[in-house]
Amino acid sequence: KIRISCDDLSEDGVDSNDILDAIIESPSTQPNASEDPSSMPSRKPTSNPTSKPSKEPTRNPTRRPTRKPSKRPTRNPTTKPTTSDPSSCFTVTTYNSIDADIETLKNEISDEGARSHFLGGILRLAAHDFMDFDPFNTQNQMGPDGCFDPAHPANAGLPQDIWCRDCALQTLYDEKYSFVSRADFWIASANAVVRQTSVNNALDLRETFVWGREDADVCVGQGDRLPSPTGCDDVENVFVRRMGLGWKDAVALMGGHTLGRGSSEFSGHQGTWVDTDEDAQVFDKQYYEEIYMNSWRPRGRGTANQDWTTGRPTDRGNTRMMLNTDICLVHNIDGNLPCCTNPGRFYSNGQDRCLDDEATARRCPIYNQMNPRSEARTVVGQMLGGAYPNDNNEPFYNAFTDAWRKATTVGNDNLSPLGENCEQVR
């Protein structure tokens, strides 16, 4: 990574206080024992005949040989050890089993890019399920209901690689966890991804996980409710106005972009938000560092898929990417394109790192205190954890935990916490 001093951030007449403020702010399956034994068939009627066989004929022993075994066969005995009906609860054992199975699937992927895509895709699946929430739509509020529109462009990539008949994640659910709702499964799987990819597995969301979400089979118009990558208007509309979150929550949830990568084949946006595919498998604050520290320039101006990139195409052999919805958390880009976020920084050969003469001529402005979105810029600075560089992920982890809890429960007020067994969660 490039190490940038505060002096670097105040070049070309930019008010260093603006940037420094942002960076330094810191039912049982066994017979009932109480049942009258005379109502049960004799297991060996011929070995112990009654004293008056003519008055006590055998009571149809073939009618009730078992306690209805065909209606509740054992599905996954290792994940449901309790005697209560496992399909009616979500236990700690089930949660931990999902976590272990996600890790197994992850480890079976050898390619770094494919693995980062898989991990980011699971987080994206859960997020796309709750970001369609609209409390003002009285007919269908949606929210986390285990449903997304596979035909909508906003969900491109999910029905191809993450949730499809032959996809590893859906196969895992169908074969082992279909006794819980899809919505609960998606969120538990995303929690597993966050824990496994956080630094030292420090971000464990199990204590905040609740279950009982109900699935929807149809969600017409779901994709239209997702934020488009055009700018912060959609970020504000989805997270703040509809979901009732604050800018701190919105900025924390956007930090999920630190995982995974975009594909021009699906979304039209190619690359990773962070340096490498290896970095794109670590859930940390690097996303926020990248926004501040790099020289981002517009890519594909005038097209529907306009986004941002940085560095030379050959740098580390990886294409870098930010969306308008990422850059606009710090920079006021509305009506200010073309521009570059950090002009005046140079390669050793003297070439400006913006690599675009037109963009280099204009620095993308940072929100001033009078702009309502300056709160987002301030929060991004807080997520940096102090003066750069540092290894302090705590501000991001704390903010994400709170935001994720709110987002994954939106529209639900009757969810239950995990228990050690089904009796505890009733």
Decide if 258 contacts 383 (C-beta within 8 A): no
Decide if 144 contacts 183 (C-beta within 8 A): yes
Which of 117, 128, 257, 269 is flagged as catalytic?
A: 128
Picking from 253, 170, 181, 251, the residue whose alpha carbon sits closest to that of residue 215 is 181
Max intra-chain CA distance, the chain: 110
The one-letter amino acid code at 95 reads: Y
388: helix, coil or strand?
A: coil
Residue for token pair 């807080």: 382
Question: Is 128 a residue of the active site?
Answer: yes
Residues 6+ apart with CB under 8 A from 62: 41
* Distance in angstroms (rounded) separating the CA atoms of residues 253 and 384: 15
Q: Please return the burial class of 140, using the count of CB atoms within 10 Å of its CB with bins 0-12, 13-18 and 19+.
A: middle
Please state whether the peptide bond connecting residue 61 to the residue before it is cis, i.e. omega within 30 degrees of 0: no
Picking from 279, 352, 267, 256, the residue whose alpha carbon sits closest to that of residue 116 is 279
Residue for token pair 């070049």: 11
Helices (H) and strands (E) in the chain, counts: 12, 4
**Cβ density class 166-180: b for 16+ within 10 Å, e for less:** ebbbbebbeebbebb
Please state whether the peptide bond connecting residue 338 to the residue before it is cis, i.e. omega within 30 degrees of 0: yes
Tokens of 165: 């008949």
DSSP states along 121-132: HHHHHHHHHHTT
Decide if 106 contacts 254 (C-beta within 8 A): no
Residues 6+ apart with CB under 8 A from 422: 82, 84, 85, 86, 88, 89, 91
* Distance in angstroms (rounded) separating the CA atoms of residues 310 and 410: 36
* Distance in angstroms (rounded) separating the CA atoms of residues 285 and 292: 12
Give me the active site residues, please: 128
